[in-house]
Structure 1
Amino acid sequence: MGVLYDFFAAPTDDAAAATIDLLGGPGGAEPSSAELQAALRANDRAAMRRLMMPKVRLSEHGFDVLCVKGIDPVVQMATLEQLLTGTSTDAIFSRARSGKAVAVRDEGERLVLTLTDELQAVLSAATEQQLDAVAVPWSQTDEFWGNGEPEILAHFLRQLALLARNATAAGNRLYCWVCV
């Protein structure tokens, strides 16, 4: 099944920590899509691929959320931040909000982690062209075993930037709920 990651926005660390026990995490249940069901019935692979791409949405629990698999909020986000800012990963990892656990359950099988304010700021300010451009070198990093898909990562980055802009506008911060 893999590791589930819900990137989300919350006003405080305490509010983010409270998501640890929500059924399905802050993202809750994925809403059903009639369009996706039709694509599945028609075996329209192009439509299925497009419709299954992660998107920022308001969850049943009231959080702006971006649900994905395979994009780690600590190491891969630090590499992304390094590519966007030129800051060394050592400096990024030394930041107080770099992957700080605000809630832990089941011996670490469920976590709520912080993302850095610096990453949120650079994502909020990034243009679509900047995000698309950084997707290529990001896809070639060791964390993606050198063969990530730049098109998929660019889509993810545009959505993560949307989440960051929405969070910044609302005075919220970015977090990630992790379920192993």
Structure 2
Amino acid sequence: MGVENDYFRAPDAAAVVRALEETDTGPLVGVADPVFDGISTKGVDPAVVFGQLIAIIKSVPWSVDIVASTMVWPTSPMPGPEGPEDDDDPWATGPWVEEFSDSVRDILASVPDPDVQDAVVAWSQTDELRGTSPDDLRPLADVLIELARQARDAGEHLYCWTCL
């Protein structure tokens, strides 16, 4: 069992919340009748693995806060530092959805096609992806970049749905 991370584009957070309420919390892509355009992944978490791709494209060192985002699901208030009060709290169980800042979307959308392969090779050499072939990562990078371009061109935002 692994952590699922679905990356998708949507018009706004309200549309995402409506879709989650209607689908009993997801998933929203990678199903027979997807709600949004996107890609399902396992183990490509937003902060580390996805964040490393963003850092590589930006040519800056990775840091945990390189991917700026805002939580849009669950809609209940986020628990304090002591964490959720009980194990049934949606903040403890998920799923969780975060909206990436438009700057993250635009960084991905603006990577020149000739630079994608070099970025993928560097991405494959990160600790979390070591041993993964760049040839295996290239389709994922291509889809993420195209998704970001479509979102930018449509005035939409990028999101990540995460479920244990």
* TM-score normalized by the length of structure 2: 0.77
1:101 equivalent in structure 2: 71
SS in 2 for 1:143: coil
Aligned match for 1:125, one of 110, 115, 127: 110
Alignment map for 1:1-180 (pairs within 5 Å): 1-21=1-21, 22=23, 24-27=26-29, 29=31, 31=32, 59-61=33-35, 63-90=36-63, 93=65, 98-104=68-74, 105=90, 107-144=92-129, 146-180=130-164
Which amino acid is the alignment partner of residue 68 of structure 2? S
SS in 1 for 2:17: helix
In 1: Cα distance, 2:52 partner to 2:127 partner: 10
| 1:17–1:73 CA distance, 2 compared to 1 (3 A) | farther
Which amino acid is the alignment partner of residue 39 of structure 2? L
Q: Which consecutive aligned stretches of 4+ in structure 1 deviate over 4 angstroms post-superposition?
A: none
In 1: Cα distance, 2:136 partner to 2:20 partner: 28
Which amino acid is the alignment partner of residue 92 of structure 2? E
In 2: Cα distance, 1:11 partner to 1:142 partner: 34
The total of aligned residue pairs comes to 147
Q: CA deviation at 1:155?
A: 1.0
* TM-score normalized by the length of structure 1: 0.71
In 1: Cα distance, 2:109 partner to 2:38 partner: 15
- 8 Å contact 1:136–1:150 — kept in the other structure? yes
Which amino acid is the alignment partner of residue 86 of structure 1? S
SS in 2 for 1:122: helix
In 1: Cα distance, 2:49 partner to 2:29 partner: 21
Which ranges in structure 1 are unaligned for 5 or more consecutive residues? 32-58
In 1: Cα distance, 2:38 partner to 2:115 partner: 22
In 2: Cα distance, 1:108 partner to 1:117 partner: 27
Decide which structure has greater helix share.
1
- 8 Å contact 1:3–1:69 — kept in the other structure? yes
Which ranges in structure 2 are unaligned for 5 or more consecutive residues? 75-89
